[in-house]
Amino acid sequence: MMKLSVLKSLAAVILSAGITAGALAETNGTELRIGVSGAFNSVDPMFHNLTPNLDVSKHLFDGLVKLDENLELKPGLAQSWKLVNDTVWEFKLRPGVKFHDGKLLMPEDVIFSIERAPNVPNSPSSFAGYVTSVERVIEIDPLTIHVETKEPNPTLPRDLVNISILSKSAAEGKTTDDFNKGAAAVGTGPFKFVEFEHGRRIVLARNGGYWGEMPAWEKVTILPITNSAARVASLLTGDVDVIAGIPPIDLPKLRENSKITIVSGPQSRIFYLQIDHRDRAPMVFNNDGEVFDKNPLQDLRVRQAMSKAINRQLLIDRVMEGEAVPAGQILPNGFYGANPTLDQADAYDPEGARKLLTEAGYPDGFRMTLTTSHDRYPTAESMVQAIAQMLTRVGIKTDVELAPHSIFRKRGRAGELSVQFGGWGNDGATSFMVGVLHTPDKERGFGPANRGVYSNPAFDQALEEALRTMDVDERLGKIRKATEMVINDLAIIPLYWATHSWGMRKDLAFIPNPLQHTPAMEIRPR
């Protein structure tokens, strides 16, 4: 049986050994070095819909619309937008905006970008879902475009937040590799491309012609440091100025350090178990080690047993050091779309879990493997070990398998995994349901991350009705109904929403955002 423990990180050892922030190196005031927790794999802003990639792309490219720190819409390259009729949105472009190569932003660039988004070859996770409702984009005049949708889409401006606007002249006919080499990485963003080394770093230079607030930094280097201990150590030794994703175990000591600032904020990212809903689950076995002919996880009672077996508060107290809140649904209360009737997470009830397993026909339980990546989230390894122990105690004998994030995602997409621990950053009320829970439909952009192959036609219909309902209050009611359907069905098992923390030199200031991004343009000297 696995032991519930939180491993001491290298950073904690360094702190206890007496290496203090006195070792922090001051830069010359014009350069910022950021250590991030996730590995970005491309400069092409439409290649892979992945948080580390989005983090990088927002330095180089702008969207028509942006999100503020409260996930509310604000103008980007579009100064304003309005609904012309149920299927036409009008966007007014910001005048005088120039790309990094000096060319003016024109409607043709917007049209090209929206058309390219769903058509990037070999995309591991497509951006198609954001533009699936778009029928066509029309230039009305040099500063006005109309986006026609196939059916009413009240959330189109929010859908377009993650669609970067590219220079048609620089990107047309170019490949993702051309972006990675810099040839096609021409945007309107606050920084310009200098150098990209896959798996090592990206170097950016301030865009002196930026249309918005000028960044404080002439040069920015972003380094993927996926090992949490190494990331914290890099801040302490002065190799970087800012880090994202601090392990909860290191927060108390870092907060005591007079030369380091810790910035924390709740996030919209839900951490959950993705459940295999297929007839045969390749990593769910009977007690003789054979794959079941019929997958036990298809039985709601088994999923309920799993949820009741997990002591969320203990996980938060022991693994997260209190830096999280138990989740009973997809979005935390206070976010548009959260359902107040689902406020409470399932109570810890191991006896109830055993009873449900017996009722489902598994009085002696069964075996399964729980998989996650060890280099994406700081506490993932300790978290899955603890969850596996809890499931084992009620009769679901659970082994843990860890893999690099790139391999974990690849195996998940290939259908090789059955129960997966992961997170999803909600940038809107329906993004999780569209991306993870709707029946997969590549042509329509639904379910690109539905690796559990969950399919519920009644839920699909309810969600699609919500997506095309124009009245705000009516749409909210339908979103809440759809949420209730999948939570009652335990399509996934929600676990918690975590607090996300950044560490930085004391002379720096930063307002946290719930999407876990670390934008250099929003980090400033005090």
DSSP notation for 85-144: ETTEEEEEEPTT-B-TTSPBP-HHHHHHHHHHGGG-TT-SB-SHHHHTTEEEEEEEETTE
Cα dihedral sign, 295-440-45-466: negative
User: Residue 427's pLDDT is what?
Assistant: 79
Asked if 49 contacts 57 with a C-beta cutoff of 8 angstroms, the reply is no
DSSP label of 48 = B
Neighbouring C-alpha atoms within 13 Å toward the C-beta of 95: 3
Phi/psi zone of residue 394: left (φ > 0), alpha (ψ -120 to 50 degrees), beta? Answer: alpha
User: Distance (Å, rounded) from C-alpha 346 to C-alpha 331?
Assistant: 15
Rounded Cα distance between 46 and 127, Å, is 6
CA 433: distance to chain centroid? 13
Burial of residue 28 (CB within 10 Å: 0-12, 13-18, 19+) is exposed
User: In whole angstroms, what is the distance from residue 434 CA to residue 445 CA?
Assistant: 8
Helix (H) or strand (E) holding 305: helix 300-309
Percent helix, strand, coil in the chain, to 5, is 30, 25, 45
Q: What is the pLDDT along the chain (526 residues), one digit of tens a residue?
A: 333 333 333 344 334 333 343 445 455 579 999 999 999 999 999 999 989 999 999 999 999 999 987 788 999 999 999 999 999 999 999 999 999 999 999 999 999 999 999 999 999 888 998 998 999 999 999 999 999 999 999 999 999 999 999 999 999 999 999 999 999 999 999 999 999 999 899 999 999 999 999 999 999 999 999 999 999 999 999 999 999 999 999 999 999 999 999 999 877 899 999 999 999 999 999 999 999 999 999 999 999 999 999 999 999 999 999 999 999 999 998 888 899 999 899 999 999 999 999 999 999 999 999 999 998 888 999 999 999 999 999 999 999 999 999 899 999 999 999 999 999 988 778 999 999 999 999 888 899 899 999 999 999 999 999 999 999 999 999 999 999 999 999 999 999 999 999 999 999 999 988 888 999 999 999 9
Burial class of residue 109 in the structure, from the number of CB atoms within 10 Å of its CB (0-12 exposed, 13-18 middle, 19+ buried): buried
Q: Which residues are bridge partners to 147 per DSSP? A: 89, 137
Contact indicator for 76, 134 with CB cutoff of 8 Å? no
**HSE-up (13 A, CA, CB side) for residue 436:** 28
Predicted pLDDT of residue 10: 39
At residue 499, φ and ψ (nearest 5 deg) are -75, 135
Give me the sign of the Cα torsion angle 387, 391, 394, 398.
Answer: negative
Fold of 266-499: Dipeptide-binding Protein; domain 3 (3.10.105)
pLDDT at 425: 87
Q: How far is 504 from 380, CA to CA, in rounded Å? A: 23
- The predicted structure's pLDDT at residue 444: 87
Look at residue 28 in the predicted model and tell me its pLDDT: 58
Please state the φ and ψ torsions of residue 178, each to the nearest 5 degrees.
-65, -35
H-type alpha helices, 330-372: 350-359
Per-residue CA distances from 395 to 7, 66, 210, 442, 477 (Å):
26, 47, 59, 37, 39
Contact 106, 142 (CB under 8 A): yes
